[in-house]
Amino acid sequence: LTGFSNKAIVIDGRGHLLGRLAAVIAKVLLEGNKVVVVRCEQINISGNFFRNKLKFMSFLRKRCNVNPARGPFHFRAPSKILWKTVRGMIPHKTERGKSALRRLRAYDGCPPPYDNRRRVVVPAALRVFCLKPGRKYCHVGRLSHEVGWKYRDVVRKLENKRKVKSVKLMAYEKKLKRITKESGEKVAKT
């Protein structure tokens, strides 16, 4: 993910650790790149689910006594949890930080403009490389659902539809490739 690019870098959030992924994204954003993160609900957090839920519940208790509408604001959606984690790693009160945050897009599921795009992973943030086998972890999607995110079932349904469509498309492309190869061989023989 090094270097500058005009095209947005599309990252698949599945199987990444939240903090490590956020750190890499923050660096890339500050370099001037655009970043899109899809499937945020499948990002992992190290530590067992119950402990992570307790941490989030203690965060929910933090509010302004005078007027709670002033903040702090407690985002429940997985995409917003990632966004807030990245915001904490960027100087978001400066102009440079604000413009960097504007270059970040995070989505639950994989919406249409990005479902056909090539997605990348960040090896430095993948759970299988960072955590020892047997260590406990939980999904941001489950945590979000338990603390008030209402769209888990909707995202799951849309993801299943997308996967079925993707399998059909792959089969069609494979068939097309085979036909092209066979016709090329026939032309070469004649």
| 163: in domain | yes
pLDDT in tens, 14-53: 999 999 999 999 999 999 999 999 999 999 999 999 999 9
Q: Are residues 122 and 146 in the same domain?
A: yes
| 1: in domain | no
Q: Structure tokens of 75? A: 């985002």
Q: Are residues 146 and 162 in the same domain?
A: no
Whether 32 and 2 have beta carbons less than 8 Å apart is answered as: no
Cα–Cα dist 87/81, whole Å: 10
Q: Are residues 157 and 120 in the same domain?
A: no
Q: Are residues 145 and 162 in the same domain?
A: no
Q: Are residues 88 and 142 in the same domain?
A: yes
Quote the number of domains for the chain: 2
Q: How confident is the model at residue 1 (pLDDT cuts 50, 70, 90)?
A: confident
Whether this prediction's pTM lies above 0.75 is answered by yes
Q: Are residues 78 and 145 in the same domain?
A: yes
pLDDT in tens, 56-93: 999 999 999 999 999 899 999 999 999 999 999 999 99
* Domain encompassing residue 181: 152-190
Cα–Cα dist 39/71, whole Å: 27
AA letter at 52: N
Q: Are residues 29 and 88 in the same domain?
A: yes
pLDDT in tens, 174-188: 999 999 999 999 999
